[in-house]
Chains A and B, each alone.
Chain A
Amino acid sequence: MKLKTNQILGDYGLFLVLLLLVIVSAILSPLFFSYINLANLLTQASFTGLLALGMTFVILMGGIDLSVGSVVGFSSILYASILHGAFFTFMPKEIFIYQGAPKLTPILPLPLDILFVLAVGAVIGLASGFLSYRFRIHSFIITLCVMIFTRGLAISYTRGQPLFGVPDPVSFLAYGMPAKIPMPTIIWLGASLLSLLFLRYTRFGRGIYAVGGGEEAARLSGIQPAWYRISPYVASGFFSALVGIMMSGRMGCGDPKIGQGWELDAIAAVVIGGTSLSGGKGSVGGTVVGVLIMGLIINIMNLLAIEAYPQQMAKGIIIIAALALHSALSKRRSR
């Protein structure tokens, strides 16, 4: 019977941590369970959540993607520039100084502009994956380079200036509230559900687990690893671009500097969610819970009006505590 308790703790320990945090938050602040706060929490979590979702694919396959934050920044500015009717690269500085609402004559009509930016994000991911696979260089290095390059590209694109005037149809992606649920959350949870089903119920999804668990073993089982190794980065780039577009809508402008350091939040959420950094083990469900845990930590500190800088310190410590607790619980199980 004892063993059974331990097993439950190991399997559902993460949920217990989440539950614990919810209870603590509710006790610490009466505002916690207000609709506005919960909606805000979920919206915030959704952006990290989408990045962490792409990251889950990559980490399950045994890699890592440091470029997601930069891709967010680049797709944000790229998207805004399409709405402005031009690819602005290397234009004189004066153009970017905000002079009231610009006249918008987009290059591409509405769904196509979004699809274009998503495709660019996917192509950046494809490049990371291909380079890492083809030249057998660890993805940490490749995506670090892609991260630096893409951020540089985003900033040179408008010489570091934001582009204002992103119109309503896109802000719906960021601010919409169908059925009183934030649109980003619907997108995040919907994408997570689809990814979960994909990873669990398709041969390709199982192949990603297999390649992450042992590439040679997978190869000997009849899997050709190339596309399994590359495609997770495509997913990651795609979701990063989606976040970039949504951020443009949310801020009403394209900002090449946005997303700095977000890759670390995404990685932290995936790891808190129990996905092994060495690959082959983990789940999208865990990542969703990991994202919520991260979101809760920030949310409760905001409610308690803790300043931003000490918040970072607390965040670091709480993440370690959550991981230690989780590891202790799963160790007991494996005994």
Chain B
Amino acid sequence: MNGAGQALLEARGITKIYPGVVALDGVDFQVNAGEVHCLAGENGAGKSTLIEILGGSYPKDGGTIRVAGREVEFSSPRHAQEMGIAVLHQELPVLPHLSVAENIFLSRQPLRGGRLVSYVEMNRQARRWLEVIRADVDPRALLGDLPISRQQLVSIAKALSLEARVIIFDEPSAVLATAELRRLFEIINSLKAEGRGIVYISHRLEEIFEIGDRVTVLRNGKRVGTEQIANIDRGTLIKMLVGREIDESQIGGGAGPAERPEPVLEVRGLARKGVLQDIHFTLNRGEILGVYGLVGAGRTELARALIGADRVDAGEILLEGRRLKITSPREAIRSGLCLSPEDRKTQGVFLEKTVQDNICLPSLKSLKSGLFVSYLKIARYAADFVSKLRIVTPSLRQHVKYLSGGNQQKVVLAKWLGMKLKVFIFDEPTRGIDVGAKEEIRGLIRGLAREGKSVIMISSEIPEILGISDRVAVMHEGRIEAILPRREATREKLMAYSMGAKGA
């Protein structure tokens, strides 16, 4: 069925202009029945803008959209939905206080007597759509009580219930772990077999090659090209994406373990009821310890416990042989530990604050002159990091929300670099940022290790983990199943341990 179907959705010459920026410049994009059309591009390339326009969220400034051959002008997301286009947004905008069924049928609830919402009927229909994708989800459960992977399934069920002919997935893998992604791919393949058109957006090349039939690459708001996946290789695609060549094999190459390991952080028997059990590990000076696991394995919980953001029920943490009593992030920072959190936008940076405010916040104490904070010192201090880390921003006073994901992540890093810390914990530092910036972030992390800092690096991307870590800890259901030195760590072992298969 590959790519042979008729055109379900045809966009020609789509242009979108924001004040001062041309977000999309005459982009053509077509989705056929029974194909998976990948959309790739660095952040800021215009992918999101394009799907918002195709999904009816934003009006376009130029070009035409045809659905099944007929020209349409979308007036709202609802209009696009009625025309059979459904968008599954990356940061699933869901209503956590409403039930699964209501999230599926919001504003289209089945009525009885023509007026009143029939919950019985709504739950029945919701269950039917969930069964289609074999999702084991109770339609009556509150959506907010479900893990994000299940929420994704609910969104797919919703798209099906809309009888969508074209389903647009906006970076689903950013929130799913490997096993869940497998499930998603199965579902996508069955949707494809039914003759629906799928648009799949991802930063991960391997996914594009696995699931895609065609790929369209955007760069700086322009279409670089559309290719059959079968006709291109990774190198070509990377070149299309970044406009220059990046040697992917360079992902490897950590600082290498020191001659004589010198323990910096020792964790003994750390436990938190229901999420972490009996965690033991040692982190050496200049070492990068990768932490891999499926979503829900307890990786983020471990990071939060280490810096005192969550209480622990048992266990001890030793820093350079001294026992730490960490009960708050403030104390952790004082002792020399910091965390770059998974949810960058809400926990890593202050979106509404400027670049310099974000960078200087933890170091304000040392940026005073006399009693008061010195803005001169702040500006110098921030400017120093902006140039050192090559943060791309028009000014130090730019609000962080206008920066790309990669640059936001660098701001998080800069925040901690000036603090003379010993242990850096990174929770998914490269999630949702583009290929070029990912490698830059990894480079910065490797640089830290080379300077003798110790790093814990949590990631869901196996190549990244294998590439950067000196050792890899694999978590499963709140435990560390295994800690593997780099030369013993393989993709298969990581997958096996992360799914709880011992002695793989």
Chain A interface residue count: which class?
A: 20 to 34
Please tell me if the beta carbons of B106 and A222 are within 8 angstroms of each other in the complex. yes
A contact residues around B97 at 8 Å (CB): 209, 213, 276, 280-281
CB closest chain-B residue, reference A213? B95
User: Max chain B CB contacts within 10 Å: which of A200, A206, A276?
Assistant: A206
Contacts A207-B107, A222-B108 hold; do A217 and B116 have CB atoms under 8 A apart? no
Q: For the complex, is B66 an interface residue (Cβ under 8 Å from A)? A: no
Contacts A206-B117, A214-B95 hold; do A221 and B106 have CB atoms under 8 A apart? yes
Query: Within residues 133 to 159 of chain A, which ones have a CB less than 8 A from any CB in chain B?
Result: none
The one of B93, B102, B107, B115 that contacts A222, using a Cβ cutoff of 8 Å: B107
Query: Within residues 214 to 253 of chain A, which ones have a CB less than 8 A from any CB in chain B?
Result: 214, 216-224
Please tell me if the beta carbons of A217 and B95 are within 8 angstroms of each other in the complex. yes
Q: For the complex, is B437 an interface residue (Cβ under 8 Å from A)? A: no
Q: For the complex, is B69 an interface residue (Cβ under 8 Å from A)? A: no
In the complex, what's the smallest C-beta–C-beta distance from B83 to chain A, in angstroms? Answer: 12
Q: For the complex, is B417 an interface residue (Cβ under 8 Å from A)? A: no
Query: Within residues 104 to 120 of chain B, which ones have a CB less than 8 A from any CB in chain A?
Result: 106-109, 111, 115-117
A100 vs B87: C-alpha distance in the bound complex, in angstroms? 71
Please tell me if the beta carbons of B107 and A203 are within 8 angstroms of each other in the complex. yes
In the complex, what's the smallest C-beta–C-beta distance from A333 to chain B, in angstroms? Answer: 11
Contact with B along A179-205 (1 / 0, CB 8 A): 000000000000000000100111100
A contact residues around B76 at 8 Å (CB): 219, 222, 224
In the complex, what's the smallest C-beta–C-beta distance from A23 to chain B, in angstroms? Answer: 32
Query: Within residues 40 to 66 of chain B, which ones have a CB less than 8 A from any CB in chain A?
Result: 55, 57
In the complex, what's the smallest C-beta–C-beta distance from B310 to chain A, in angstroms? Answer: 13
Contacts A200-B117, A201-B116, A214-B93 hold; do A222 and B81 have CB atoms under 8 A apart? yes
CB closest chain-A residue, reference B94? A217
Q: For the complex, is A210 an interface residue (Cβ under 8 Å from B)? A: yes
In the complex, what's the smallest C-beta–C-beta distance from A102 to chain B, in angstroms? Answer: 46
A275 vs B98: C-alpha distance in the bound complex, in angstroms? 14
Residues of A contacting B: mostly: helix
CB closest chain-A residue, reference B109? A203
Please tell me if the beta carbons of A222 and B95 are within 8 angstroms of each other in the complex. no
The one of A203, A209, A223, A224 that contacts B98, using a Cβ cutoff of 8 Å: A209
In the complex, what's the smallest C-beta–C-beta distance from B77 to chain A, in angstroms? Answer: 5
In the complex, what's the smallest C-beta–C-beta distance from B78 to chain A, in angstroms? Answer: 3
CB closest chain-A residue, reference B55? A220
Tell me the count of chain B residues lying within 8 A, CB to CB, of chain A: 24
Q: For the complex, is B89 an interface residue (Cβ under 8 Å from A)? A: yes
Please tell me if the beta carbons of B116 and A206 are within 8 angstroms of each other in the complex. no
The one of A202, A220, A222, A280 that contacts B116, using a Cβ cutoff of 8 Å: A202
In the complex, what's the smallest C-beta–C-beta distance from B503 to chain A, in angstroms? Answer: 34
Contact with A along B125-159 (1 / 0, CB 8 A): 00000000000000000000000000000000000
A241 vs B116: C-alpha distance in the bound complex, in angstroms? 28
Please tell me if the beta carbons of B93 and A216 are within 8 angstroms of each other in the complex. yes
Please tell me if the beta carbons of B94 and A206 are within 8 angstroms of each other in the complex. no
Contacts A209-B98, A280-B97 hold; do A218 and B106 have CB atoms under 8 A apart? yes
In the complex, what's the smallest C-beta–C-beta distance from A221 to chain B, in angstroms? Answer: 4
In the complex, what's the smallest C-beta–C-beta distance from A121 to chain B, in angstroms? Answer: 26
In the complex, what's the smallest C-beta–C-beta distance from B163 to chain A, in angstroms? Answer: 14
In the complex, what's the smallest C-beta–C-beta distance from A275 to chain B, in angstroms? Answer: 11
B contact residues around A203 at 8 Å (CB): 107-109, 111, 117
CB closest chain-A residue, reference B77? A220
A contact residues around B102 at 8 Å (CB): 206, 210
Q: For the complex, is B96 an interface residue (Cβ under 8 Å from A)? A: yes
A224 vs B57: C-alpha distance in the bound complex, in angstroms? 11
B contact residues around A206 at 8 Å (CB): 98, 102, 106-107, 109, 117
CB closest chain-B residue, reference A278? B97
CB closest chain-A residue, reference B89? A220
In the complex, what's the smallest C-beta–C-beta distance from B102 to chain A, in angstroms? Answer: 6
The one of B57, B87, B106 that contacts A210, using a Cβ cutoff of 8 Å: B106
In the complex, what's the smallest C-beta–C-beta distance from A252 to chain B, in angstroms? Answer: 41
Contact with A along B76-88 (1 / 0, CB 8 A): 1110010000010
A contact residues around B106 at 8 Å (CB): 206-207, 210, 218, 221-223
| Nearest 8 CB-CB pairings of A with B | A222-B78, A217-B93, A201-B116, A213-B95, A221-B106, A281-B97, A280-B97, A201-B117
Subset of 13 A-B contacts with CB under 8 Å: A197-B116, A202-B115, A203-B107, A203-B117, A210-B106, A213-B97, A213-B98, A214-B95, A217-B93, A221-B77, A222-B76, A222-B77, A223-B106
Which residues of A are in contact with B by a Cβ distance under 8 Å? 197, 200-203, 206-207, 209-210, 213-214, 216-224, 276, 280-281
Beyond A224-B76, A280-B97, 19 additional contacts (C-beta under 8 Å) are A202-B115, A203-B107, A203-B108, A203-B111, A206-B107, A206-B109, A209-B98, A213-B96, A214-B93, A217-B95, A218-B106, A219-B77, A220-B57, A221-B77, A221-B106, A222-B107, A224-B78, A280-B95, A281-B97
